[in-house]
Amino acid sequence: MKKIAVFDAKKYDQKSFSQYEGKYQFTYFKDRLSSKTVKLAQGFDAVICFVNDELNDEVLTKLKQFNIHGVFLRCAGYNNVDLKSAYTNKIHVARVPAYSPYAVAEHAFALILSLNRHIHKAYIRSRDFNFNLESLTGFDLYNKTIGVVGTGKIGRVFIDIAKGFGMKVLCYDPYPAKDSGYDYTTLEEIYRQSEIISLHCPLTPENHHMINQKAIEQMKDGVMIINTSRGGLIDSKALLEGLKEKKIGAVGLDVYEEEANLFFHDNSAKIIDDDILALLISMPNVIVTSHQAFLTIEALDNIAETTINNLDEFFAGTFMHNELCYHCQQSDNPEQCYKLKTKRCF
């Protein structure tokens, strides 16, 4: 039986993978995969990783030395993977491209509704039997303009929800969805027109810190910014300044660019030395959740099932449908290659 090392594993991960225990032998590590912990992978046939595991050249080279040639991400994003190094070291990398777009899109709207109607503040008040309505005024979402950056599977579900509220939806995506009927425009127009901006795109070198000081200056006064994608899409310092200057009216974050050593762990007894995050969390118009947008029963089941299918294809030596290829990612349209391929990247 093939032995699989599962890094950054939580109890809910073990529960979702437990139904496949007879097929593979899983060993769960609470530690994130990094240069310090990669030695734990020795003796295994493959590794399963998560969003904040470090799959850089040093780690991937070590995995090759351990004769591990399969890395399986139980997530959609792969900005934490050095695909060039994986190709050089002949390590196949596969991901879970879609586990539940509904889970993430619904969480994004939960942040919008909570911020707009001040649910988080009302909850705290009512716990003290304070039923004062001062400072709890929101606004109708109906007929408001919402800018959606990224129209992949999650973005499309989010758009459907927004339209259900009767909102005007503006979209931006470097690869527009054909025949979608979406109102595509430029980022500048989204910044200029939107009362709410929600990010639903992967993190790439091109869009790193796309929400920066210059972008914020172009936005409407009192804009609400929602990010359930990747923390690196937003310049946290610029975000904090925008809040201080009252340019930004509200912020909902399920991700944070320096989250790796904080999120998914109980830090309640520790002093947080990240001043920016501490200040963001202290603000009454900011909600930070702990990268939990994906966390539904359906999503966890889908993640486990797809990861097992990826493992099956890898060990069978067949075409890997969800493989990430360095050469594909360098093309103008990285999705095109997957549609044409009938064999592995190498």
Helix (H) / strand (E) containing 125: helix 119-127
Rounded CA-CA distance 139/25 in Å is: 52
What is the pLDDT averaged over residues 52-76?
A: 97
CATH 3.40.50.720 maps onto the chain at 3-99+297-340, 101-288
Rounded CA-CA distance 131/114 in Å is: 17
Q: Which of 54, 195, 257, 259 is catalytic?
A: 259
Percentage of the chain exceeding pLDDT 70: 95
| Residue 211 pLDDT > 60 | yes
Residue 325: predicted pLDDT:
81
Give the phi and the psi of residue 34 in degrees, each rounded to 5: -155, 180
Residue 184 confidence class, pLDDT cut points 50, 70, 90: very high
Residue 145: predicted pLDDT:
98
> Hey, what amino acid is at 181?
G
Residue 163: predicted pLDDT:
98
DSSP state at residue 45: S
The CATH T-level fold of domain 101-288 is Rossmann fold (3.40.50)
- Within 8 A by CB and 6+ apart from 152, the residues are 101, 173, 200, 201
Our answer to whether residue 95 is catalytic in this structure is no
Percentage of the chain exceeding pLDDT 90: 87
pLDDT tens per residue, range 126-154 = 999 999 999 999 999 999 999 999 999 99
| Residue 49 pLDDT > 70 | yes
Q: Which of 195, 200, 230, 323 is catalytic?
A: 230
Residue 264: predicted pLDDT:
87
| Residue 12 pLDDT > 70 | yes
Residue 333: predicted pLDDT:
59
Residue 344: predicted pLDDT:
77
The pTM for the full model equals 0.89
Cβ atoms of 132 and 77 within 8 Å: the answer is no
What is the per-residue DSSP string for 247-315? Answer: SEEEEEES--TT-TTTTTS--TTS----HHHHHHHHSTTEEE--S-TT-SHHHHHHHHHHHHHHHHHHH
Q: Quick count: other Cβ atoms within 10 Å of Cβ 218?
A: 13
Give the phi and the psi of residue 119 in degrees, each rounded to 5: -60, -40
Rounded CA-CA distance 17/304 in Å is: 6
What are the distances in angstroms from CA 158 to CA 52, 53, 155, 167, 200?
25, 27, 5, 11, 9
Our answer to whether residue 107 is catalytic in this structure is no
| Residue 330 pLDDT > 60 | no
CATH 3.40.50.720 is right for the domain spanning 3-99+297-340: yes
| Residue 345 pLDDT > 80 | no
Our answer to whether residue 230 is catalytic in this structure is yes
| Residue 124 pLDDT > 90 | yes
Q: Which of 54, 92, 291, 313 is catalytic?
A: 291
pLDDT tens per residue, range 32-45 = 999 999 999 999 99
pLDDT tens per residue, range 255-292 = 999 998 889 888 999 899 999 999 999 999 999 999 99
What is the pLDDT averaged over residues 163-179?
A: 96
Q: Is 138 helix (H, G, I), strand (E, B) or coil?
A: coil
